[in-house]
Amino acid sequence: HVIYGIAGLKIHGKVLLVIREELDQVRAYAHVGTGNYHSKTANLYTDFGLFTSKESYTRELLDFFNFLTGRSKKSDYEKMLVAPINMSSRFLELIGKETANAKEGRPAEIIAKMNSLEEKGIIEALYEASEAGVKITLFVRGVCCLRPGVPGLSENISVVSVVGRLLEHSRVYFFRSGAEDRADGLFFIGSADWMSRNLHRRVELIAPVEERGHRERFLRLFDVISNDRVLAWDLDQDGSYTRRQPQSEGEQNSGTHETIMKFTKEFGETSF
């Protein structure tokens, strides 16, 4: 049964839901991804996917698919961030909580990885968070309408773009949420960039990542990108980019993509 979508909205979410009749029960399995289900781009893009049978996930994803068919008007998703229903408001709420934590002296940090950033409300909320003292690191491969490092506005924001043999395509969002250990913060992956079209004019889905091992892998990725001096470009406050330069011969072949592939080949996927 092919559903062609909802009038006026492009379906951009990357979600699979399989419901199986097993020996003693009906069980659901779900996959939430950041990338397209496309064999060619799968070889060229960097993406993440979450495979789960947790009922707390599959129950809401069933509502999500019923939304696509017009059989659900659910608006009170507890786990999932769904555009254009609750995603924009939830992201603003999460940024606002980091701002409040910073003002109260609690650990406050935001790391967001995406393709592009131009949504005005999100940018204004990030500026406010920066002014409150929240450390914000943005990995934005393409268009970025936020200006980092502007005195009195965005001094606590840095923007890095990684450009190499693979296309950086994954969307990952981290909010420290007052946690002493960063791995205890909130992590999300999904299909949406922080753009007006994604948050307001498309059907998108962002899902939380709950397993500690998965969260630690994201933190390692963030560290690799932050330390990349081969493929990384820093966005300056005037809108220009400055390419980082290797500080030693050993760094010349240790860009983000080479590092990730090396880890995977040597130690298997559980290492990264």
Task: Give the residue among 56, 170, 44, 161 at the shortest CA–CA distance from 114.
Answer: 170
Structure tokens at 234: 């820093």
β-pair type (109-114, 135-140)? parallel
Annotated active-site residue 31? The verdict is no
Contact 19, 31 (CB under 8 A): no
Rounded Cα–Cα distance for residues 59 and 28 (Å):
9
Rounded Cα–Cα distance for residues 199 and 69 (Å):
20
Contact 192, 87 (CB under 8 A): yes
Set 1, 12, 31, 169: catalytic member: 12
Residues acting as catalytic residues: 12
